[in-house]
Amino acid sequence: MGMSEVLRYKVGPPVMVVTTTAGVQLLARLGGDTNNTTPWSLLGDTFSWTVVTVILFWALLSLWVPGKEFKGPQTTFGYTPLYKANGFQFLWVSLAAFLTFVYFNQNFPLDLYNNFHNILSSCNVLAFVLCIYLLVKGKMWPESSEILPPKPLMYEFYRGMELHPRILGVDVKQLTNCRFGLLAWELLVVTFFLAGWQRNGFSLAHLVSVILQTIYLAKFYWWETGYFNTLDIILDRAGYYICWGCLVFVPSLYTFSSYYLVANPPLVSASGSVLILMLGVVAITLNYRVDWEKEHFRAHNGNCILWGRPATYVETKYTTNTGVKRSKLLTSGFWGVARHLNYTFELTLALAWCLPGLGYGILPFIYFIFLLILLVHRVFRDEEKCSAKYGDAWDKYCKEVPYRMIPGIF
C-alpha cells in the first residue's frame, strides 16, 4: 500500500469519524445560547431519546404502511431495490401531526431547542449502532450476491458494505436519508422558528428561511422516487458516510442557519426578507426545472420539446452484466448551457436561506460553505462515474457542453 493509499484508506476514515462527531457537537454549542447551562451528555438524555425514538418509529411506520411500491434501478449484479412511493403524503401528515402536537404543548419548541445538543448525542449513538450493525451484517449475512474486494475494516465501516440492505423489512437508505434525516430537518427548522418567536418575538427573516427550506423539502418529497437514481443510492453504500450523515449531519449542519437565528435574532429588514424570499423562490424553481428537464427528456426517450425546440442529444452505449444498453445525454435546454446547473441553483437557494443570518459573520453561512465543497466534489465524482460508464460519448458531450457549473468560468 503506497502512502496515498494509506492516507485514503487507513487514516482518512477514522479522522473523518472523529472530527465529524466532535464537529457537530461543537456546532450545537457554537450556534446556541451561551447561557444554556444544560450539561453535556454524550449519550443523550430521556427527553432526547424520546424525540429520536418517536421520529424513528414514525419513519419506519411510513415505510411499513401498505402503499404504492417503486422499483429502483437494477444493480450491475442484478438486484432491483424496492421502495415505498408515499413521500409527499408522509411529509404533510408528519408536519400536520407535529404542529397539532406543538399547539397543545407550547413549551415544546424551546425545550427542544435547549436540548438540541442532547438530541444530536442520541442521533449519534443511534447512527453508530446502526453503522456497526450494517458492517457486521454486510460481512456475515449480505442480502445480495455482490462480491467486494476486501479493504481495511475502518474503510469498510466508513464506506459501508451493501448497496441496498434492508432492516425490519425496509430499505435502510430510504429510512435514514429520506424518512429520518429529511423529516428531522423539516421539523427542526420549524421548531427553531417557533422557539425564536417565543424568545425574541416574530421574525419575518427567520420565517422566510423556514419557508424556503419547507418548499425545498416538499420538492424533494414530490420527487423522492427520482432520488433513487442518484449517486447516494446507486453508488454510495449504506455505511458511516451516508447513514451517519443523514442521521446526524443533516439534523445538525443542514438545520444550522435556523438554529443559529434563535440565539442571534435576524438583523435583516422586512424588505430585505422579501428580496431573500424572491431570490430563493427563483432559485428553487430553476433547480426544479433543471432536474425536471432531464427527467422529462429521459421519460420520453429524447422525443420531446425543450425551450420551444426538439431536444438535442448525444447517443450513448454502455455495458452491464445483463448486456449492452443505450441511453442519451441531453445537450439542449439547461443541460446544453452547463453540465451541472442544478447544483448552481441549489447553491443560490442555500445562500438565500442562510442570508437572514447576515451581520453575524461566517457561522450562519456554514451550510452554504459545506454545500459548495460537497457539490464541487460531487461534480467530479459524478463525471468520473459518467466517463467510466459512457466513455467516448461522455467526452463528446463535454465538448458540446464545455462548462460544469458557471458558463464561461467553471
Ligand X SMILES: CC(C)CCC[C@@H](C)[C@H]1CC[C@H]2C3=CC=C4C[C@@H](O)CC[C@]4(C)[C@H]3CC[C@]12C
> Hunting for cell 457561522 — which residue is that?
363
Nearest CB to ligand X, comparing residues 328 and 385: 385
C-alpha cell, 10: 487507513
Strands 309-310 and 305-306: antiparallel
| Contacts to ligand NDP from residues 308-327, by CB under 6 A | 327
Instruction: 344-349: list long-range contacts, CB under 8 Å, 24+ apart.
Output: 344/405, 344/406, 345/283, 345/284, 345/286, 345/287, 345/290, 346/283, 346/287, 346/371, 346/375, 347/371, 347/372, 347/375, 348/279, 348/283, 348/286, 349/212, 349/216, 349/280, 349/283, 349/284, 349/287
Q: Does 209 bind ligand X (CB under 6 A)?
A: no
Q: Which of ligand NDP, ligand X, none interacts with 36 (beta carbon under 5 to 8 A by kind)?
A: none
Q: Per-residue string for binding with ligand X, 118-157, x by CB under 6 A? A: ----------------------------------------
What 3-state class would DSSP assign to 64? helix
The one among 162, 342, 357, 365 contacting ligand NDP by CB under 6 A:
342
Q: Per-residue string for binding with ligand NDP, 182-201, x by CB under 6 A? A: --------------------
| Contacts to ligand X from residues 215-244, by CB under 6 A | 220, 227, 232, 241-242, 244
| Closest distance to ligand X from the beta carbon of 74 (Å) | 21
Nearest CB to ligand NDP, comparing residues 56 and 386: 386
Q: Which of ligand NDP, ligand X, none interacts with 329 (beta carbon under 5 to 8 A by kind)?
A: ligand NDP
- d(Cα 299, Cα 200) in Å, to the nearest integer? 49
**What type of residue is 286?**
L
Nearest CB to ligand X, comparing residues 208 and 250: 250
The one among 386, 393, 404, 405 contacting ligand NDP by CB under 6 A:
386
Residue 43: Cβ within 10 Å count:
11
What 3-state class would DSSP assign to 329? strand
The one among 250, 263, 286, 330 contacting ligand X by CB under 6 A:
250
The one among 19, 230, 301, 320 contacting ligand NDP by CB under 6 A:
230
Q: Beta partners for 314?
A: 329
| Closest distance to ligand X from the beta carbon of 305 (Å) | 26
| Closest distance to ligand X from the beta carbon of 244 (Å) | 6
| Closest distance to ligand NDP from the beta carbon of 45 (Å) | 29
| Contacts to ligand NDP from residues 346-385, by CB under 6 A | 346, 371, 374, 378, 382, 385
- Count of residues touching ligand X (by CB under 6 A): 12
Torsion of CA 282, 288, 294, 300, to 10 degrees: -110
Nearest CB to ligand X, comparing residues 264 and 342: 342
- d(Cα 86, Cα 302) in Å, to the nearest integer? 28
**What type of residue is 142?**
P
- d(Cα 284, Cα 305) in Å, to the nearest integer? 22
Instruction: Please compute, for residue 26, the number of CA atoms within 13 A of its CA located in the half-sphere on the CB side.
Output: 8
**What type of residue is 315?**
E
Buried residues in 377-397 as b, exposed as e (16+ CB within 10 A)? ebbeebeeebeebbeebbebb
Q: Does 287 bind ligand NDP (CB under 6 A)?
A: yes
What is the length of the chain? 410
The one among 191, 291, 354, 405 contacting ligand NDP by CB under 6 A:
291
C-alpha cell, 74: 437494477
| Closest distance to ligand X from the beta carbon of 169 (Å) | 22
The one among 86, 177, 209, 316 contacting ligand X by CB under 6 A:
177
30 neighbors 363 (Cβ within 8 angstroms): yes
Nearest CB to ligand X, comparing residues 131 and 262: 131
The residue whose Cβ lies closest to ligand X is 245
Q: Does 330 bind ligand NDP (CB under 6 A)?
A: yes
| Closest distance to ligand NDP from the beta carbon of 100 (Å) | 29
Under the rule (CB under 6 A), what is the footprint of ligand NDP?
230-231, 287, 291, 294, 327, 329-330, 335, 340, 342-343, 346, 371, 374, 378, 382, 385-386, 389
Binding site for ligand X (CB under 6 A): 20, 177, 220, 227, 232, 241-242, 244-246, 249-250
